[in-house]
Amino acid sequence: MTAVEVDDLFKSYGSVNAVRGISFSVQAGEVFGLLGPNGAGKTTTLEILEGHRRRSGGTVSVLGFDPQLGGRAFRERIGIVLQAAGVDAELTVRELLMLHGSWYPRELPIADVIELVGLEQKRSARVGTLSGGQRRRLDLALALVGDPDLIFLDEPTTGFDPAARRNAWELVDRLRRLGRTIILTSHYMDEVQHLADRVIVLSAGRIVAEGPPDSLGADGPPATIVRFRLDERHSSDQLPTELLRAIEIGEREIVIRTSAPLRTLTILCDWATASGAELRALEVVRPSLEDVYLELTSGSSAVGDGGPRVGN
């Protein structure tokens, strides 16, 4: 079942086009990631889906509602963690959760929500006394208290320490297991890689890549790296001609960038076997999502600025 359907979405602020005709869908129960640098349009997209912002063109359906017109019935079924939103510093954690929970037809037990986000020690503390990370956990708690079907998380772990991030990840995993649909944005590539079933990468308001995190960049740059050292009896100019044009000679090693790693390895190994060369510290490195992301969004690669490659 489709939870979110976006077709040809446009958003402009005056003469600035923040989102330029993007289309995607999110299935119920899926964890969906929006990736992109600052200004790529991911928060604008998210806020249009939440109903906080009006679109300039295209169609959007969220849980069967047009978010612009969905009203109370729509908002009863979603939970939102905004990138930056205030809370009343004078209330306690428990009071604030009770207040928010009282607006929904379904409500999670307040004690459960507090435990879920790890704020048991702070349940009676005024919100104004919480640290940045604790405040962010309260944001999560407020988004969950109405037991939503769809949860929007706009950079939910920004400001968390590593342990708190891991806890938040576990929480998202739990929510996924409970069948909740989650749409998140993040600057942390490992977070998206860990959490998201599928992602879209936005750059300058357009989708530049889409798919499961592991598949990103599979059919394009950046290349896989094959890295090794040769023994003393052999030198790099003895390598097969087809590899020669793609190699980079480092201080201690030879690097080959390839979009066809299996073929490159076959040629390399055949040559090594035939010539009796030893390939020391042979390593095949797949590009990380971060490499893919940087290449997709900036046009330059963290791995090697689009150097020569072995292709098919």
Partner 1 sequence: MSGTDRAFYRGRPSALRILGGQVVYQLRLLRRSPIAAFATLVIPLMVLLAIGLLYANARVSTRGDIRYVQFLTPAMVVFATVTACYMGVISSTVLAREQGILKRIRGTPLPAWAYLTGRIIAAGIVAGVSSLVVIGVGMAAYGFHMMWSSVPPALLVLTTAIFCFCSLGLAVTIVVPSAESALPLAWGTMLPLCFISDVFQPIDGAPAWLRSVAAVFPVRRFADQLEALFNPVTGGTRLDGADLVMLVVWGAGAALFALIAFRWEPAGEHGGIFPALRAIASLVRERITDLLGACAKRLSAKGRPL
Binding site for partner 1 (CB under 8 A): 50-52, 54, 64-66, 68-69, 71-73, 75-76, 78, 80, 82, 84-88, 90-91, 95, 99-100, 102-109, 111-113, 115-116, 142, 144, 146-147, 174-175, 178
Which residues lie below 8 Å from residue 195, measured CB to CB, with a gap of 6+?
31, 33, 169, 172, 173, 182, 184, 186
Nearest to 155 by CA among 264, 37, 279, 273: 37
Reduced to 3 states, what is the DSSP secondary structure of residue 5? strand
Which residues lie below 8 Å from residue 295, measured CB to CB, with a gap of 6+?
217, 221, 222, 287, 301, 302, 303
Comparing CB distances to partner 1, the nearer of 72 and 245 is 72
Reduced to 3 states, what is the DSSP secondary structure of residue 150? strand
Crossing angle of helices 93-101 and 132-144, rounded to 10°: 20
Comparing CB distances to partner 1, the nearer of 109 and 299 is 109
Comparing CB distances to partner 1, the nearer of 143 and 192 is 143
Minimum Å gap between C-beta 193 and partner 1 is: 24
* Position 279, amino acid: L
Minimum Å gap between C-beta 15 and partner 1 is: 13
Contact 30, 181 (CB under 8 A): yes
Minimum Å gap between C-beta 115 and partner 1 is: 5
Minimum Å gap between C-beta 89 and partner 1 is: 9
Minimum Å gap between C-beta 281 and partner 1 is: 44
Comparing CB distances to partner 1, the nearer of 147 and 190 is 147
Minimum Å gap between C-beta 69 and partner 1 is: 5
Give CA–CA dist 202/12, Å, rounded.
16
Question: What residues does 65 pair with on adjacent strands?
Answer: 62
Comparing CB distances to partner 1, the nearer of 141 and 196 is 141
Beta-sheet pairing, 2-13 with 57-62: antiparallel
Comparing CB distances to partner 1, the nearer of 151 and 254 is 151
